Amino acid sequence: MKAIKKQKLSAQVVDEIYAFIKSEKLKEGDRLPSVSDMSEKLQIGRSTLREALQILESRGAIQVINGKGIFVNELRPFYIHTMFDIENEQRFLLEILEVREALEKKAIDLAISNIQEKDIKQLQAYLTEYEEAISHNDRKTANQADASFHEYIYQLADNDFLNSIINSVGDQFEQFWNEPFGIEHIFDESYPYHHTLLEGLAEQDIEKAQKAFDLLIQSVRRAIKNVQVD
């Protein structure tokens, strides 16, 4: 394991632990180093490590047993784990954006014929929740509302295979809602296009919805490219 020195510590720790499991060829039931050992090797605080372990446990990658230790679970087949350093986060996000653009555009195409009044209300509720959270400077809630808006569109597509693909890259997509580069407001300019996208869906106007989504993606791509990476 190597020392973690850059920003987004918990995300980097997660990737470093994945790398350690892979390099050591650990299997289900194998024990990981203790919290104190990992904290020392990674040169990070225990709170950051515990946050990373919680992420890994929520993904089912590890099991933390009090008084016994931290154990590897059987990693899900076809689950995509992308390991990246802060130096190539910009490239990583741009590449994932291309995948997200293709999948979500198809989801919109499928969702528009399935959407009902209750779905429109739910999507609007997510946008309202986002606005209220921003007004209270609650970025965590705002980011979750934004993510939920897009996830709901995937569900409306009603295509099991498409959703299985989206679920397999869900952790990577979440990078768009986890304040990339540590910049809270990085994608704020894309927000108005969410309303236009919803209007297109509500009107079942595929051209309007796809145009709004294209503008949203262009805004996100521009924001990523404008970040000055040292």
Is 91 a residue whose pLDDT tops 70? Answer: yes
**84 touches 77 (CB < 8 A):** no
Give the helix, strand, coil percentages of the chain, each rounded to 5.
Answer: 65, 5, 30
Percentage of the chain beyond pLDDT 90 is: 57
Task: Give every CB contact of residue 140 below 8 A, 6+ residues apart in sequence.
Answer: 133
Give per-residue pLDDT as tens, 107-149: 999 999 999 999 999 999 999 999 999 999 999 899 999 999 9
The mean per-residue pLDDT over the stretch 203-212 comes to 97
Q: Please give the domain boundaries of the chain with CATH numbers for all domains.
A: 9-72 (1.10.10.10), 86-225 (1.20.120.530)
pLDDT of residue 229: 61
Burial of residue 173 (CB within 10 Å: 0-12, 13-18, 19+) is buried
pTM of the model as a whole: 0.64
